[in-house]
């Protein structure tokens, strides 16, 4: 039976649409891989090097690649993503992506994504001066498996507004917003993010020793710290106009032990 004229028209229209469809951007391709890595992990021998913040020893071994938590909306706003020449990692073909900040002096990144599995096999973070801050790389890739529990990477609605009430006068580094709550060993801690880089903001009863990537300022009877892979001068400027420190407005975002002392 010969196809009808209507059927041929639909077929040709479909072919034309397929040929003219816009291919995914480098940003979209990378975000697809990073999103999948929140649900899947590659098992194998992994080498992790952390130069900032300093660790002793700086190199350790693991059985899988630590995930990169990104916030897509912020990443699109603050970074340019470019696909580079393909490379091999752990004996597997990867497509390489560079992430360059659009503004400020934030760290840049490179991510090696497995062509078949569509998840990262390696990544590195470099400071604004080009020095290595962190690198994680699979030396052998045994298998791709589903994580026991998916990793969540969601901005907490209302947190930026609460932070502005808790620390009036705080001037966040360019591109960074309050993204979530981190570990709190020495005080109330929030994570600031520009999409991929993280700066820790801590409200604590004590100050912290001055060092590269660390700023601390006394506000009233307490202290506020900023710790991250940014120029120390930028961090100090962010804290310079803080008028008071009151963790009260952050109470709904913190565990009961922190919000109700």
Query: pLDDT tens for residues 11-37?
Result: 556 655 555 568 899 999 999 999 999
Same domain for 174 and 64: no
Mean pLDDT to the nearest integer, 101-122: 96
Interval 141-190: pLDDT, tens: 999 999 999 998 899 999 999 999 999 999 999 999 999 987 677 789 99
Q: Looking at the 3D structure of the chain, how many domains does it have?
A: 2
Could you say which of 102, 125, 146 is where a domain stops? 146
Same domain for 70 and 133: yes
Angle value at C-alpha 39, between 34 and 44, nearest 5 degrees: 85
Cβ count near 87 (within 10 Å): 13
Same domain for 172 and 117: no
Within a domain: residue 17? no
Within a domain: residue 13? no
Domain ranges, residue 169: 159-253
Same domain for 174 and 82: no
Contact criterion met (CB below 8 Å) for 103 and 234: no
Same domain for 168 and 127: no
Q: Report the CATH number at residue 244.
A: 3.30.200
Same domain for 193 and 120: no
Using CA atoms, how far apart are residues 251 and 165, in angstroms rounded to an integer?
Answer: 12
Same domain for 121 and 78: yes
Same domain for 167 and 242: yes
Using CA atoms, how far apart are residues 156 and 189, in angstroms rounded to an integer?
Answer: 14
């Amino acid at each position: 039976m010969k196809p009808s004229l209507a059927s041929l028209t639909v077929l040709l229209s479909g072919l034309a649409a397929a040929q003219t469809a816009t291919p995914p951007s480098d940003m979209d391709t990378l975000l697809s891989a990073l999103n999948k890595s929140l649900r899947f992990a590659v098992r194998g021998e992994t080498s992790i090097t952390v130069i900032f913040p300093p660790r002793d020893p700086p190199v350790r071994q693991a059985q899988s690649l630590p995930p990169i938590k990104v916030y897509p909306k912020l990443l699109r706003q603050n970074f340019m993503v470019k696909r580079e020449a393909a490379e091999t990692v752990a004996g597997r073909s990867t497509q390489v992506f560079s992430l360059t900040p659009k503004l400020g002096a934030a760290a840049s990144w490179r991510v090696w994504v497995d062509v078949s599995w569509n998840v990262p096999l390696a990544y590195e973070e470099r400071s604004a001066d080009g020095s290595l801050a962190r690198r994680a790389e699979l030396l052998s890739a045994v298998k791709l498996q589903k994580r026991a529990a998916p990793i969540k990477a969601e901005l907490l609605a209302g947190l930026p507004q609460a932070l502005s009430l808790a620390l009036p006068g705080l001037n966040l580094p360019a591109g960074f917003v309050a993204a979530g709550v981190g570990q709190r060993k020495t005080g109330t801690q929030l994570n600031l993010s520009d999409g991929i880089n993280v700066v820790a903001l801590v409200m604590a009863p004590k100050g912290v020793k001055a060092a590269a990537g660390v700023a601390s300022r006394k506000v009233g009877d307490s202290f506020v710290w900023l710790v991250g892979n940014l120029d120390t001068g930028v961090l100090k400027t962010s804290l310079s106009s803080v008028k008071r420190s009151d963790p009260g407005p952050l109470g709904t975002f913190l565990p009961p032990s922190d919000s109700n002392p």
